[in-house]
Chains A and B, each alone.
Chain A
Amino acid sequence: MTRITNRIRRLRFDHSEMTQEELAQRAGCTRQTIIALEQGKYVPSIELAFKIALAFGVTLEEVFQYEG
């Protein structure tokens, strides 16, 4: 497991239950990647991380946290 956690599931809920498919479309990735991110099995590239934050209209730190 990675030490980078994220709040994607929570943010999707806060954005009127945005579906994984919708988020994937907005961020330009596959739904499987969103699933892997929510399960903490995959660490995205900086570019994808920014795209996800942009899809929610928040900063990077509000989506991803490093538990160092």
Chain B
Amino acid sequence: MSYNTYRFWKLLVIIIVAILVGWAVPSGYAFIPVPVAVIGMGILYIIKRGVKEIVIDERTYNIANRASRMAFQTVTLAMVLIGATLVALSYGKHPGVGPMGLTLIYSAAGLMAVYLISYVYYGKKVGGKS
């Protein structure tokens, strides 16, 4: 199978999974999304094995690394800023938004903790002082 054929089937599977999940959740079938997602991932795995061309290489990982880092920094910063704003607002006219702000700040702290642990782990794995 060529890479383009793989991309076509991948897109089709993603669309079908998205439609099924999008239909199941509002309809109250809460048990459907998880098996559908797992089956979708399984189909994608099988299709990917049939691709003769090389699909992932060091450049792809390089791009993924940069994208992950950018996404992490953007999301964390946004969560902290929005969280701090909500907490500040909770001391004024909107006391109800305080817990929401704290949830965002604690989530950002959790993300940073996972990042730090991963960084130390991979730093030791690769070697040298980071």
- Contact surface of A with B, Cβ cutoff 8 Å: 21, 24-25, 28-33, 36, 42, 44-45, 47-48
Partner of B59, one of A21, A25, A30, A47: A30
* Number of CB contacts from chain A to chain B under 8 A: 32
* Interface pairs A-B: 9 shortest CB-CB: A29-B57, A33-B59, A30-B57, A30-B54, A45-B58, A33-B57, A42-B59, A48-B58, A29-B54
Name the prevailing secondary structure of the A interface residues.
helix
8 A Cβ contacts from B39-85 to A: 53-60, 62
State in angstroms the CA–CA spacing of A36 and B62 once bound together: 13
CA distance A25 to B55 in the complex (A): 11
Query: What is the minimal beta-carbon distance from A6 to any residue of chain B, in angstroms?
Result: 14
Q: Mind listing 17 A-B residue pairs with CB under 8 Å?
A: A21-B53, A24-B53, A25-B53, A25-B54, A28-B54, A28-B57, A29-B54, A29-B57, A30-B53, A30-B54, A30-B57, A30-B59, A31-B53, A33-B57, A42-B62, A47-B58, A48-B58
Shortest distance between the CB of B5 and any CB in chain A (Å): 15
Chain B residues with Cβ below 8 Å from A24 are: 53-54
Q: Which of A30, A36, A47 interacts with B55 by CB under 8 Å?
A: A30
Give chain A residues whose Cβ lies under 8 Å from the Cβ of B62.
42
Chain B proximity of A39: nearest CB distance (Å): 12
CA distance A29 to B59 in the complex (A): 8
